[in-house]
Amino acid sequence: MKKSLAVSSLLFCATLFLSACDSGNSADTEKKGTEILGGKATMVLPEGFIKMPQDMLEKKYPTAQRPQEAWYVESERGKVSIAFSATENAVSEDQIPQFATVMKNQLSAFSPQTSEVTVNGKKMARVEMTTPAADGKIYNVLQLSSRDGKLLISTFNATEDLKEKYVQSGKDALSTLDY
């Protein structure tokens, strides 16, 4: 009984400590994040992002590798978005850096830059690049992670004319991914 009470007290204190240290910004600590991927994950999305309707998702991503879900800035007519592709590809957290290197090599024509990040205690990698599109160039940040032993690709995209306006909020959002 005493051990159980001591463990419970310790967990309670640790939770309070972690909550207090989580962020210097009280507005951030109050935000729980938006449920994504059917409630399997959360992300604190920037203000103004709404869930992309299915018909728009199909037009914007007309391939078989379409993300399961995307969020966008409606006032920018889909030129700024965050999307999620939960793949069936088995990958462990330790394999993420190697996978990022493979992607960098495959996408070498676009001069991608890779970096390793830790988000909510999980090792992830980012691949950043600018790619051509029908309406100009698109700045892309692909965040690669392992969720339940499978590859999760979370992307932030903005057309080059809107990059400076949204890039920091997009990266900040990716840095709140939790599952």
Lowest model confidence (mean pLDDT) among 129-138, 141-150, 161-170: 129-138
pLDDT value for 31: 56
The highest-confidence range among 28-37, 58-67, 95-104, by mean pLDDT, is: 95-104
Residue 38: strand pairing partners: none
Give the C-alpha separation, 112 to 129, whole Å: 5
| Across 135-155, average pLDDT | 96
- The answer for residues whose C-beta is within 8 angstroms of residue 146's C-beta and 6 or more apart is 91, 92, 93, 95, 96, 122, 152
For the chain, what is the mean pLDDT?
85
**62 pLDDT tier (thresholds 50, 70, 90):** confident
Q: What percent of the chain has pLDDT over 90?
A: 75
Amino acid symbol at 55: D
pLDDT tens for each residue of 119-135: 999 999 999 999 998 87
Give the C-alpha separation, 9 to 20, whole Å: 17
Q: Is 176 helix (H, G, I), strand (E, B) or coil?
A: coil
DSSP secondary structure string for all residues of 61-125: --STT--SEEEEEGGGTTSEEEEEEEEEEE--GGGHHHHHHHHHHHTGGG--EEEEEEETTEEEE
Give the C-alpha separation, 179 to 176, whole Å: 10
pLDDT tens for each residue of 67-90: 999 999 999 989 999 999 999 999
Place of tokens 């409630």: 39
pLDDT value for 60: 87
Paired tokens of 82? 């965050």
Amino acid symbol at 143: Q
Give the C-alpha separation, 79 to 163, whole Å: 10
- The answer for residues whose C-beta is within 8 angstroms of residue 64's C-beta and 6 or more apart is none
Report CA-CA distances (Å) from 82 to 64, 70, 118.
18, 6, 19
